[in-house]
Amino acid sequence: METKGLLVVISAPSGAGKTSVIRKVLATGDERFRYSISATTRARRGNERPGEDYFFLSPEDFDAERLRGEFVEWAEVHGHYYATPKTPLDKWLAEGGIVFLDLDVDGGLAIKDKYNDTAILIFINPPSYQSLVDRLRSRETESQAQIDKRLERYPKEMQNSQKYDYRIVNEQLDATVKEIIKIVNHHIDKINRTHK
């Protein structure tokens, strides 16, 4: 039987906890799980590690890779460029991997457009708008102006989330992780039944 992989895009408004969710999913130890590391032109934050959290590129290097067709999708977000490298995605899919991608809604929809049924889109909602504001402030990594800029995107993100396959309210981290794994296993079973 031919092995088929799956792309799992996780999107959320800034501060809704998608990074924590993805880390916890990957920590379950499922050997099929992979994480697509994005390229970005933004500066490193805190303990972020190049090649593990992001590929940190200069604007010039980012543009050169984009022009060579190295990215599946790319976008400008909050004044910085982000992109998904193509080569590892295609390799992991061919190997039957389940690849998690941390993307904004535009990036998620671009992935769905290119990969169709090989991709599922999951949107993580915060319990409330206020909880989102509180979380962004408590991170203490950005100025109020930067936080305001992130919050400006909230209405558009919520509107575009209606185009996603699933929407989960992140009330409790463990419950959110269990729900995502359940969704992923359901799709893998469906793919396997289709390709028998």
Q: What is the pLDDT of residues 83-93, one digit of tens each?
A: 999 999 999 99
Mean pLDDT along residues 111-117: 92
Kindly indicate the confidence band of residue 14, based on its pLDDT and cuts at 50, 70 and 90.
confident
% of the chain with per-residue pLDDT over 70: 95
Mean pLDDT along residues 28-34: 92
Kindly indicate the confidence band of residue 1, based on its pLDDT and cuts at 50, 70 and 90.
very low
Work out the mean pLDDT of the chain and round it to a whole number.
87
Per the model's pLDDT, the better-predicted residue between 4 and 22 turns out to be 22
Element (H, E) at 164: none
Residues in CB range of 84: below 8 A, 6 or more apart: 36, 38, 39, 71, 72, 73, 74, 101, 103, 107, 111
Name the CATH superfamily for 6-194.
Answer: P-loop containing nucleotide triphosphate hydrolases (3.40.50.300)
* Distance (Å) of CA 85 to CA 18, 51, 97, 98, 180: 20, 12, 16, 16, 23
pLDDT tens digit sequence for 157-182: 888 889 999 999 988 999 999 999 99
Residues in CB range of 1: below 8 A, 6 or more apart: 192, 195, 196
% of the chain with per-residue pLDDT over 90: 53
pLDDT tens digit sequence for 90-106: 999 999 999 999 998 98
Would you say residue 3 has pLDDT above 60? Answer: no
Mean pLDDT along residues 180-187: 94
Would you say residue 51 has pLDDT above 70? Answer: yes
The pTM score is 0.85
pLDDT tens digit sequence for 117-158: 899 999 998 877 777 777 777 766 667 777 777 777 777 888
What are the structural domain ranges in the chain? 6-194
First-to-last alpha carbon distance for the chain, in angstroms, is 6
Per the model's pLDDT, the better-predicted residue between 161 and 73 turns out to be 73
